[in-house]
Structure 1
């Protein structure tokens, strides 16, 4: 375990943004996206757990004021949230003014409270009708995407400080390679539609995990797999934005001019590194046995704290400003979250000192929410009672709130919220 009690005091740049992130389908409840469909939802959640439907999730559709109170109690000045396409256009060509007004009310309240808005237009979920048409698996659906954005963007534009067109279009578990490459064009089209109505910075949130060869960089097979997966999950997107060229192994390259330069900043979600074992059919291994710890009862994917991934990522992405749009850990023992936040922010601060232009950090997640098929992985800074939906700020949330208030932390702040390092020995007792 990292000895965070030896960390030096850190301060962040003036005007640094401190935030928390959510996604509508994961917190609102009764969302009616394809994730809620008996026909279309997957049978199993991430990690092979039986699929559990979101149902009322955190009931944030009704309790959004409670979420805003949490943000204020933690001194946060940024909220990354999504508006859900399936609510606004439940049937093709039919726009629901009542649902739009609901989102406008939330956006107005955030502005009244002095909280900047980072708005995601597509956070994995979309309407059932769009899913049945093949969603992003074909470019033939571009007109549907354009019509939705032309409807919603001008109506919410005045409230948005940062735009996210698509969330994690690079995820191999969610999208095929064809879909990922198509989504680069959907992103580009979204960028240009937004720019018709808003001068605020636009990006798409990229799920970044460092791909490392399990046996080290001298092992040619492991390194080959690490480089291959890095290109098909990371570099294909960065290359397209920087050059306009959409490329991938075994695919004919395509130059799409309207894609070039369509990220005003890099929006980066990061949690883990991934070890690549070229000698296994199932080549993806998230951590070494020696660095793995048990954080929740059912293994998920964040059972390693590896802060150097933050530095390596930011050194790679120095050509634009960066907003960390997600970063967090699923853990039953909240002390791990305090350790994680401490370590990641130390690394983030060091990267800034080495020249990375980081404008803010938004933690995943504000709440213990529905996590794509299960309520088991707890990422939240606050718990949510599954029966009453009462929110309770965790110790890690209080710690994070004090960091935001002080624009940094020192040992005095840290030791108020963590007396000793957590031990896996105590896992069964927590």
Structure 2
């Protein structure tokens, strides 16, 4: 186990962004996106468990002021949230002005509390009608997405610190590679629409998971497979944004000059590593039992605390400023989250010291929310009673808040919240 009691005190830049992240589909409740439609929602959640509808989720649509109060209680200066397209345009071509006004109220409340907003336009969910048309499987739907972007950006720009267009378009086990190729083009077109109305920085968060050969670099099949998967999920995205060309094996390259430099900063969701086992069809789901902490009753992708992945990720992105838009751990024992936050922040500070311009750290998640078909993984800094919807800040939330208040992680803060009795 990582011994956080041996850490040196560290401080962060004065303008560092400290925040938390949520997604509307996961906290608002009753969004009526395709995830809420019994006919077209997935049948299974992550890990193969039967799919559970979100229902009222955390009831944040009604209780957003309570969520903002949690942000203030932790002294956070930033919040990443998403708009729900399914609320704003529930029927194709018909924008709901009442829902637009609701989001304006949320953003006004955040601004009143001096909390900077990173606003996501598409965080995995979208209207049923768009899904039925094929969503991002075809470029024929581009105009629908751009019409939505054209509508919301001028409505909300005065409340926004930065724009995030499409969440995690690089994950090929979430999308097909054909969809990822399309999504990069959707991103590029949307970027230029946003710039018509806004001078705020724009990006799209990539999901970064380090690909490690299961048996080490001397095992050629594992190493070749790891390199290939890394390219297909990480490097093809970075190369496309850096050069304007989308190059994927076994596909004709797509040359799109207007794609180049359409991320003003790198936005990265980073959690863990994936061990690549070339001897299995399900090649990415092995783990080292010696370092797995079994943080939930069922195996989960965040079971491995490996802060070096964050350091490696940030150093791979030195050519632009970087904002960590998601990072966290799902655990029943909240002390694991204290360890995790301390370890990751040590890695972030080391990356800063090595020359990476890290803009800030946004923790996933503010609340124990609906995790794409299940409520079992608990990522929140605050728990939620899903009968009363009462929020309760966890010790890890107070721990994080004290780090933020001091803009530093010190041994005194660690000792206050950590004991060896895990």
TM-score grouping bracket, smaller chain normalisation: over 0.9
1:346 matched residue in structure 2:
346
1:152 matched residue in structure 2:
152
Q: Secondary structure at the match of 2:238?
A: helix
Q: Secondary structure at the match of 2:178?
A: helix
Within a 5 Å distance, the mapping from 1:70-109 to structure 2 comes to 70-109=70-109
Q: 2:21·2:366 contact (CA, 8 Å) conserved in 1? A: yes
1:171 matched residue in structure 2:
171
Stretches of structure 2 lacking an aligned partner (at least 5 in a row):
none
| 1:225 maps to 2:214 | no
Matched residues, number: 422
Q: What is the TM-score when the length of structure 2 is the normalising length?
A: 0.99
Q: 1:335·1:421 contact (CA, 8 Å) conserved in 2? A: no
Distance 1:69 1:347 in 2: 29
Distance 1:321 1:287 in 2: 31
Distance 1:292 1:17 in 2: 30
Q: How much does 1:421 deviate?
A: 5.5
Q: How much does 1:285 deviate?
A: 2.9
166-175 or 2-11, which deviates more:
166-175
Q: How much does 1:254 deviate?
A: 1.3
Alignment root-mean-square deviation, CA: 0.8
Q: 2:277·2:286 contact (CA, 8 Å) conserved in 1? A: no
Distance 2:238 2:286 in 1: 23
Q: 1:188·1:258 contact (CA, 8 Å) conserved in 2? A: yes
Stretches of structure 1 lacking an aligned partner (at least 5 in a row):
423-430
1:176-216 deviation line (CA, Å, top 9, x unaligned): 11001110001101111111111111000110000011111
Distance 1:374 1:298 in 2: 12
Q: Which runs of 4+ in 1 moved over 4 A?
A: none
Q: 1:10·1:349 contact (CA, 8 Å) conserved in 2? A: yes
2:309 matched residue in structure 1:
309
Within a 5 Å distance, the mapping from 1:197-276 to structure 2 comes to 197-276=197-276
Distance 1:222 1:253 in 2: 27
| 1:373 maps to 2:384 | no
Distance 1:181 1:288 in 2: 33
Q: What is the TM-score when the length of structure 1 is the normalising length?
A: 0.97
Distance 1:32 1:379 in 2: 24
1:13-55 deviation line (CA, Å, top 9, x unaligned): 1110100000000000000000000011111101111110000
Q: How much does 1:219 deviate?
A: 1.6
Within a 5 Å distance, the mapping from 1:1-16 to structure 2 comes to 1-16=1-16
Distance 1:26 1:286 in 2: 27
Q: 1:273·1:287 contact (CA, 8 Å) conserved in 2? A: no
2:300 matched residue in structure 1:
300
Distance 1:20 1:89 in 2: 27
Q: How much does 1:333 deviate?
A: 0.2
Q: How much does 1:173 deviate?
A: 2.8
367-376 or 283-292, which deviates more:
283-292
Distance 2:334 2:173 in 1: 27
Distance 1:86 1:39 in 2: 16
1:427 matched residue in structure 2:
none
2:119 matched residue in structure 1:
119
Q: Secondary structure at the match of 2:293?
A: coil
Q: 1:286·1:301 contact (CA, 8 Å) conserved in 2? A: no
Q: Secondary structure at the match of 1:325?
A: strand
